[in-house]
């Protein structure tokens, strides 16, 4: 087995036993990137020197007998909306195409303190607005299962990196599905933590009441380790949860005996691919056979979530993106006077989808429309949260499809925003409710593409989510499903 084929937990064990060095591990992923990234385009920026320097430091510490975190020397890829000091952080936007943050996001400081080599920054939809990476100002990333298809988004580059073995772990961000939807399209585990569980300090804001950073991984064990590394209270984020971080890796084997699991009735919709529905049902039956108590749960406002989200998220975006004016950050357009500078900078710096969201959001917040749109959407959001609270009185976990279909073709939905928005219809409601939610592989579609299932828990229920996901991993004997990628000369397939 090649080093880059291992999960993070296996790499961590090999490193601890000194069977491999962090330099060897890091170099093997850098080689894999060299082979595959020209085809799959997961990375906006590569940081090989930085990664190897971190790896060398970890190796030295290990030689000196220092106590190290299990993830020390395990490399990682980071979505390009998470600030890295001195390393370009573009949000896949022209407006930030040359932005070098003067500080690290809190999650990056945590990973640096552990000694995780940073391989590079991954491609995404511009400002995390999208579901396919086609809204990146630079290029579209490709799904390793079928390079003619999208990897999902907005954290598509991070998902590609892990699925193709170019990184054992990656960080994404999830505002309304951007970790879970690409995880589903690429056959991975993707976890959206409880709102406030992971610091947003240094995550470039899209919709602040929804944004959360989360791990993309091959197994639940790997995701648990990474979540433990990034979770925790942070005084630099006023919405951070002042709660202790449990050891997510500790009771992973707790199993699902006696756990009450509800299948979302409304999700089994005729618009969903029947194979996806069947896969989810099969998993539910399997969970039942192993002792889970299953039933159907109703979330009656499911259909309203998408509409509410596409008012709330753009409203917050229109306010958050006001700072990109050519004065304080990044790109500045040629102009003759001040007003022209604002309009040219924003006109040239933002792509079409970002402009659409700014316009929708500004409209929804404007005097006279605020009550009809923004306020109404916020009321729907509260009702959706109450729906979940009620459902969690009868169930410990709620289960449904992670995406209505497997990955779609590049270009298939890029001219139709509504169809694109509908691709994360399964992921929006948990985000609005602020609850944790995990996307896990649910088997392969007859097209050969991975399908995903989503499991949600009450606030701070990550341990239970990870235990359920770990149980499902165990049913595959812990071997993650991987795409078949044949590498030819120069990285072509």
- What residues act catalytically? 79, 154, 178
CB-based contact 58:73 (threshold 8 Å) = yes
Query: Taking the CB of residue 304, how many other CB atoms lie within 10 A of it?
Result: 19
Residue with tokens 């979540």: 227
Span of 16-24, 26-34, 124-132, 289-297 interacting with ligand GLN by CB under 6 A: 124-132
Residue whose CB is less far from ligand GLN, 110 or 181: 181
Q: Residue 155 — φ and ψ, nearest 5°?
A: -85, 40
Site string for ligand GLN, 299-328 (x = CB under 6 A): --------------x---------------
129 binds ligand GLN (CB under 6 A): yes
Tell me which residues in 21-80 interact with ligand GLN (CB under 6 A): none
Smallest separation (angstroms) from ligand GLN to the CB of 134: 11
- CA 55 – CA 23 distance, rounded (Å): 5
Smallest separation (angstroms) from ligand GLN to the CB of 282: 27
130 binds ligand GLN (CB under 6 A): yes
CB-based contact 373:311 (threshold 8 Å) = yes
351 binds ligand GLN (CB under 6 A): no
154 binds ligand GLN (CB under 6 A): yes
91 binds ligand GLN (CB under 6 A): no
Smallest separation (angstroms) from ligand GLN to the CB of 131: 4
Taking each helix axis as running N to C, give the angle between helix 302-320 and helix 352-365, from 0 to 180 degrees, rounded to the nearest 10: 100
CB-based contacts of 445, cutoff 8 Å, min separation 6:
273, 275, 276, 279, 406, 451
- CA 444 – CA 447 distance, rounded (Å): 8
By CB under 6 A, how many residues form the interface with ligand GLN? 13
Query: Taking the CB of residue 200, how many other CB atoms lie within 10 A of it?
Result: 24
Residue whose CB is less far from ligand GLN, 367 or 418: 418
In 3D space, the residue among 152, 174, 16, 144 whose CA is nearest the CA of residue 82 turns out to be: 174
Smallest separation (angstroms) from ligand GLN to the CB of 418: 12
Q: By CB under 6 A, name the one of 144, 176, 262, 461 that touches ligand GLN.
A: 176
134 binds ligand GLN (CB under 6 A): no
7 binds ligand GLN (CB under 6 A): no
In 3D space, the residue among 149, 150, 152, 191 whose CA is nearest the CA of residue 173 turns out to be: 191
In 3D space, the residue among 485, 471, 435 whose CA is nearest the CA of residue 186 turns out to be: 485
473 binds ligand GLN (CB under 6 A): no
Residue whose CB is less far from ligand GLN, 80 or 396: 80
In sequence order, what are the beta bridge partners of 51? Answer: none
387 binds ligand GLN (CB under 6 A): no
Q: Which residues bind ligand GLN (CB under 6 A)?
A: 128-131, 154, 174-178, 206, 313, 424
């Amino acid at each position: 087995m090649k080093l880059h084929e291992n999960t993070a937990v296996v790499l961590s064990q090999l490193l601890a036993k000194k069977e491999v060095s962090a330099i060897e591990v890091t170099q093997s992923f850098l080689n894999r990137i060299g082979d595959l990234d020209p085809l799959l385009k997961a990375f906006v920026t590569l940081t090989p020197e930085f990664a190897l320097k971190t790896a060398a430091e970890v190796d030295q510490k290990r030689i000196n007998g220092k106590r190290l975190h299990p993830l020390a020397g395990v490399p990682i890829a980071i979505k390009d909306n998470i600030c890295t000091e001195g390393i370009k952080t573009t949000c896949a936007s022209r407006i930030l195409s040359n932005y070098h943050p003067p500080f690290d996001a809190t999650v990056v400081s945590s990973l640096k303190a552990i000694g995780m080599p940073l391989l590079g920054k991954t491609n995404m939809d511009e400002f995390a607005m999208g579901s396919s990476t086609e809204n990146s100002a630079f290029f579209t990333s490709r799904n390793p299962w079928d390079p003619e298809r999208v990897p999902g988004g907005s954290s598509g580059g991070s998902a590609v990196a892990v699925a193709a073995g170019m990184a054992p772990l990656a960080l994404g961000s999830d505002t309304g599905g951007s970790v879970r939807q690409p995880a589903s399209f690429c056959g991975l585990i993707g976890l959206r933590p409880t709102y406030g569980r992971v610091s947003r300090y240094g995550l470039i804001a899209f919709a602040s009441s929804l944004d959360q950073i989360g791990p993309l991984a091959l197994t639940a064990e790997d995701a648990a380790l990474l979540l433990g590394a990034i979770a925790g209270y942070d005084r630099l984020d006023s919405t951070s949860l002042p709660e202790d971080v449990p050891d997510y890796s500790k009771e992973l084997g707790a199993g699902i005996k006696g756990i009450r699991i509800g299948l979302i009735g409304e999700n089994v919709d005729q618009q969903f691919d029947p194979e996806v529905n069947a896969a989810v049902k099969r998993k539910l039956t399997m969970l039942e056979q192993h002792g889970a108590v299953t039933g159907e749960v109703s979330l009656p406002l499911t259909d309203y979530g998408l509409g509410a989200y596409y008012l709330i998220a753009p409203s917050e975006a229109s306010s958050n993106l006001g700072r990109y004016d050519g004065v304080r950050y990044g790109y500045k357009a040629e102009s003759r006077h001040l007003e022209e500078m604002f309009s040219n900078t924003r006109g040239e710096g933002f792509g079409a989808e970002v402009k659409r969201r700014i316009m929708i959001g500004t409209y929804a917040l404007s005097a006279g429309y605020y009550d009809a749109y923004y306020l109404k959407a916020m009321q729907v959001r509260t009702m959706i949260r109450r729906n979940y609270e009620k459902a969690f009185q009868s169930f410990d976990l709620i289960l449904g499809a992670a995406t209505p279909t497997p990955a779609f073709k590049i270009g298939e939905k890029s001219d139709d925003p509504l169809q694109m928005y509908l691709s994360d219809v399964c992921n929006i409601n948990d985000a609005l409710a602020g609850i944790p939610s995990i996307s896990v592989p649910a088997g392969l579609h007859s097209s050969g593409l991975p399908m995903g299932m989503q499991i949600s828990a009450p606030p701070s229920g990550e341990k239970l989510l990870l235990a359920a996901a770990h149980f499902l991993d165990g049913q595959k004997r812990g071997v993650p499903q991987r795409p078949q990628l044949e590498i030819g000369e120069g990285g072509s397939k």
